[in-house]
Amino acid sequence: MNDISGKTVFITGASRGIGESAARAFAGADANVVLAARSSEAIQAIAADIGNQALAVVCDVADYDQVARAVAAATDAFGGVDVLINNAGAVEPISHMATSDPNAWGKIIDINLKGVYHGMRAVMPGMKEAGSGSILTISSGAAHHPLEAWSHYCASKAAVNMLTKCVDQEARDMGIRAIGLSPGTVATQMQKEIKASGINPVSKLDWTDHISPEWVARCLLWMCSDAADRWLGGEISLRDEEIRRQVGLI
């Protein structure tokens, strides 16, 4: 594992679930962590619990100006951003295409797709100048398989995999590492919303079928090391037993 201590990690969607776990795991490895999400109280409470190495910045990833301001605040506080974790995401409203609300459908694209682009756009100039950086983006099995009533989610996750490839093509030579992570199903608020929908096989899964967000956080830490370089421009699946072994989960 490369040393992450003293590095600065900017995590979107850090108010709960995978993002919160990632913030705690990276802080536990002595990195500075920047928690970005819309829920001000939640990110402030988590940052206060972590201590001085954590900064909470209220930010809606759907709005580029807010993302740029949050990255500037991270740079003011810690000198730059070494790792971006594009984690913010949403799945509601789950709805069939023929009856879906076009505005609500588009909002998911604003968060899950444009939000990822906004993060990449905001950190890439600084990483280019530094000659190094990692951009890790949370993908999903839904990027590869259509799931009933998830057209917005499937389309957005497929598209962010292409953004990872684009960053890799344009910026690997500048020292920027871009990798996606498909975590499998994870025990978070998002799975509670999926269960409540009762639509498609994912909603029928038992809670014990999901992995913990701490596993995903440990994988993200591992992805910052050279050991993950084989996947630059590609996607790692945490369902893969070999990956679980390499990360030290089994």
Residues forming contacts to ligand NAP in the complex (CB under 6 A) are 12-19, 37-39, 42, 59-62, 87-90, 111, 138, 140, 183, 185-186, 188-191
Alpha helices, H only, the chain = 17-28, 40-50, 64-78, 102-109, 115-130, 151-171, 189-197, 200-203, 213-223, 241-247
Shortest reach from residue 167's CB to ligand NAP, in Å: 17
CB of 112 to ligand NAP, least distance (A): 7
What is the C-alpha to C-alpha distance for residues 40 and 45, in angstroms, rounded to an integer?
A: 9
Candidates 111, 26, 163; CA nearest to 11 is 26
Hey, what are 26's tokens?
A: 């990276």
Shortest separation between residue 38's beta carbon and ligand NAP, angstroms: 3
User: Of these residues, 117, 153, 215, 231, which one is catalytic?
Assistant: 153
Q: Judging by DSSP bridges, how do beta strands 32-37 and 176-182 pair with one another?
A: unpaired
Contact 60, 70 (CB under 8 A): no
CB of 3 to ligand NAP, least distance (A): 26
Question: Which of residues 170 and 214 has its CB atom nearest to ligand NAP in the complex?
Answer: 214
> Looking at beta carbons only, is 129 or 240 nearer to ligand NAP?
240
Q: Is 151 helix (H, G, I), strand (E, B) or coil?
A: helix
Is 153 annotated in the active site? yes
What tokens were used for 41?
């109280």
Cβ at position 234, least distance to ligand NAP in Å: 16
Nearer to ligand NAP, 15 or 53 (CB): 15
Q: How far apart (Å, rounded) are the C-alpha atoms in residues 50 and 102? A: 40
Closer CB to ligand NAP, residue 131 or residue 208? 208
String of DSSP letters for 183-234 = ---BSSHHHHHHHHH--HHHHTS-GGGSBPHHHHHHHHHHHTSGGGGGGTTS
Q: Which is nearer to ligand NAP, 43 or 171 (CB)?
A: 43
Residues forming the active site: 153
